[in-house]
Every structure is written in structure tokens, then in C-alpha cells.
């Protein structure tokens, strides 16, 4: 029986499903240190991860390893050059989290714009004594301009929600989406500079790559309106968190909502010192239905890639399909 490593705690019923096909080594504790992950991959044919870094050293120490299934859409935790060189397949879990992530992005944007977290903390501290006309004045969502950077599946889901708020949608993407999608979303393509200057609410939904590192830094924040908000539900590293702290502290922008951070689960401690930011611990896809769908899709990818079940050899979501059928090198 082929051996797999499940590197994170996941739903026990998904583990039972995997046990129908594999000898499962299930890690149920905290995130595995890199050396322990490498050690436990050494005799495995496959692995299921959830953001765990897998690079050349781990692949070299695991000569039987044929596939690593990531329980996430993003896969910047994989060294894909090393995967391709070793003919190891990587897979991910797109689509199943689009709507729940878009819901959360909307919630985070609204919480930042309407100062919900800031006012709740103030209330809990016992500071609310009376109503005032200027208490916690925020910025409107309805009728404003939504700027989406990264118009993929989740970006499009966000833009669809803007219709109910009578928002103008502008977007920036590596390339323009099809005209019919622009028409459906009533979305206008804009340069990044134009988007930053015009948008009332900027939402980041682009993948992390070396080229996208610090897509939003001090220069970009300086271009935004002082009444604007910034929401990041994409990946840490897309925003220069230190520059964002300064922009929030000086009211260069009005507020921000962050679900992801540079170096997470650690975060820049200065983020905790500014009141006009809403902070959540990477939970944009955290509904039970969505996380179950992600776990089962990750299992589907693993089962199929290792030649078991009805999709043998044809996983639903390969990242590097060009290595399928090639011998491990």
C-alpha cells in the first residue's frame, strides 16, 4: 500500500476516506518544523499539506514522492522550479472557496470602512457614554468606487457583489478579462496607478509571486485617497506591512482590513498599535462547508494522482500538469 503524509490536522472523516487507499501518516499537532517535515516525507509516495513549505531539500530526501496536494488555492509554499526539476506533481484547491472568500472580503472591507472593530473595542472598554454626531464617522460603501486588484475567480465574485451596492467597479489585472466578463460585472479596466487614485475601496485578490511582492508599498499608498480603505485577502507579502502601518498612523489612508500578513502566523507588532485596521487570522475561507470542500478536493487530487479511484492518473487540479506521466528524477 502506498504511503502518504497528511501534514496538518484536518477533518477525521477525510482521513478515514484516505485510509481506504493509503497507509496514512497523520500529523495532528502544530505545524511541522522543516526538518521534521523532511524526515516524515522521506518514505512517502504523496503528501497533503496546507501551506507547509516544500522545497528542493525535502524533495531530494523523498525519492518516492510523486505528488504534494495543497489544501489551498495559493501555492507559494511550493518551490515549483524544484517540483518541475524532480518531476513531482503539485495540486491545489481552486473554485470551491470563491464565494466564501468573496463574502469575507466584503465583510472585512465593510468593517474597515465603517470602523466596526475600532468602535467595538471602544464600547467594550466602557467608553460609550452618549451619542455624538461625529462618533466613529466612516466611509460609505453604497455608491462608491470599488477597485479590485486581481480579477480572477475571487475578484470576479467580489465584483458581482458590488452590483447590490450600486458601486462602480474598476480593476487591474495582469491582463484584461474577456469583454463579456467586463460587461457582466460592469467593470472597467484601469492601470494600477489610475485604480489607486480613483478607488474608494481597494481590495487585493492576486496570487503571491516574486513579481507581486510589495505590490502595495509606500509609493502606492501615497497615491490613494485619504478617505480610502485597503483590504488584503490575497497573500502576505503583497502589502508592505511596515509601510501600511505608517500610512494608517498618519491617516494617509482611512483604514485597512487584513486577513494575511508577511511572515504569518507572526505579524508586524506595529499593526497592533494602530486602531484603524481590522485584523483577522487568515480565515477568509473559514466556513465548515468550504473547508470540507477544500479538504475533500485535496484528497481527490491525491487519490487520483497516485493512481487510485475513478480519476486514476488525472487529478482535478494539477499545478504543473507537464510532469504527469514522467518518471521521478
How far is residue 264's CA from residue 281's CA, in Å, rounded to a whole number?
9
CATH of 98-279, one of 3.30.70.100, 3.40.50.720, 3.40.50.300, 3.40.710.10: 3.40.50.720
Catalytic positions? 235, 264, 282
Residue 286 has pLDDT above 70, yes or no: yes
In this predicted structure, what is the pLDDT of residue 77? 94
Nearest to 75 by CA among 54, 97, 105: 54
Computed on alpha carbons and rounded to an integer, the radius of gyration of the chain in Å comes to 22
Mean of the pLDDT values across residues 236-250? 98
Q: Which residues contact 102 (CB under 8 A, 6 or more apart)?
A: 154, 157, 158, 160, 161
In this predicted structure, what is the pLDDT of residue 311? 66
pLDDT tens readout for residues 61-85: 999 999 999 999 999 999 999 999 9
In this predicted structure, what is the pLDDT of residue 95? 95
Same fold, 3-96+288-323 and 98-279: yes
How far is residue 320's CA from residue 52's CA, in Å, rounded to a whole number?
18
Mean of the pLDDT values across residues 216-244? 98
Helical H segments across the chain, by residue range: 12-19, 34-41, 56-60, 80-86, 98-113, 116-124, 153-162, 179-185, 192-198, 218-223, 241-249, 288-305
pLDDT tens readout for residues 166-225: 999 999 999 999 999 999 999 999 999 999 999 999 999 999 999 999 999 999 999 999
In this predicted structure, what is the pLDDT of residue 45? 97
Task: Identify the CATH class of 3-96+288-323.
Answer: alpha beta
% the chain with pLDDT above 90: 95
Q: Which residues contact 198 (CB under 8 A, 6 or more apart)?
A: 145, 147, 170, 190
Residue 309 has pLDDT above 90, yes or no: no
pLDDT-based confidence at residue 329 (cuts at 50, 70, 90): confident
The C-alpha cell of 128 is what? 460609550
Domain boundaries, the chain: 3-96+288-323, 98-279
% the chain with pLDDT above 70: 98
Helix axes 98-113, 288-305, angle to 10 degrees: 140
Amino acid at each position: 500500500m502506498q504511503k502518504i503524509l497528511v501534514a496538518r490536522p484536518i477533518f477525521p472523516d477525510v482521513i478515514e476516506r484516505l485510509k481506504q487507499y493509503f497507509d496514512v501518516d497523520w500529523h495532528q499537532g502544530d505545524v511541522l518544523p522543516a526538518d521534521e517535515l523532511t524526515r516524515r516525507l522521506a518514505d512517502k509516495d504523496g503528501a497533503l499539506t496546507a501551506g507547509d513549505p516544500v522545497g528542493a531539500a525535502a524533495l531530494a530526501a523523498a525519492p518516492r514522492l510523486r505528488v504534494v496536494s495543497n489544501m489551498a488555492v495559493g501555492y507559494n509554499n511550493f518551490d515549483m522550479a524544484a517540483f518541475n526539476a524532480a518531476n513531482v506533481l503539485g495540486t491545489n484547491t481552486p473554485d470551491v472557496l470563491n464565494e466564501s472568500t468573496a463574502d469575507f472580503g466584503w465583510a472585512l472591507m465593510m468593517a474597515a470602512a465603517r470602523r466596526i472593530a475600532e468602535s467595538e473595542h471602544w464600547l467594550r472598554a466602557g467608553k460609550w457614554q452618549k451619542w455624538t454626531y461625529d462618533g466613529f464617522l466612516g466611509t460609505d460603501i453604497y455608491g462608491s468606487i470599488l477597485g479590485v486588484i486581481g480579477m480572477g475567480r475571487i475578484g470576479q465574485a467580489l465584483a458581482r457583489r458590488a452590483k447590490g451596492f450600486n458601486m462602480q467597479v474598476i480593476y487591474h489585472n495582469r491582463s484584461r478579462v474577456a469583454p463579456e466578463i467586463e460587461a457582466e460585472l460592469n467593470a472597467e479596466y484601469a492601470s494600477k496607478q489610475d485604480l489607486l487614485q480613483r478607488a474608494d475601496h481597494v481590495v487585493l485578490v492576486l496570487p503571491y509571486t516574486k513579481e507581486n511582492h510589495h505590490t502595495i508599498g509606500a509609493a502606492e499608498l501615497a497615491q490613494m485617497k485619504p478617505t480610502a480603505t485597503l483590504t488584503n485577502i490575497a497573500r502576505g507579502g503583497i502589502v508592505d506591512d511596515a509601510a501600511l502601518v505608517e500610512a494608517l498612523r498618519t491617516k494617509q489612508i482611512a483604514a485597512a482590513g487584513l486577513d494575511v500578513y508577511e511572515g504569518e502566523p507572526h505579524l508586524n507588532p506595529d499593526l497592533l498599535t494602530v486602531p484603524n485596521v481590522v485584523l483577522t487570522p487568515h480565515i477568509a475561507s473559514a466556513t465548515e462547508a468550504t473547508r470540507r470542500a477544500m479538504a475533500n478536493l485535496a484528497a481527490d487530487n491525491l487519490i487520483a494522482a497516485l493512481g487510485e479511484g475513478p480519476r486514476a492518473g488525472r487529478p482535478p487540479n494539477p499545478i504543473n500538469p507537464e510532469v504527469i506521466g514522467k518518471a521521478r528524477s
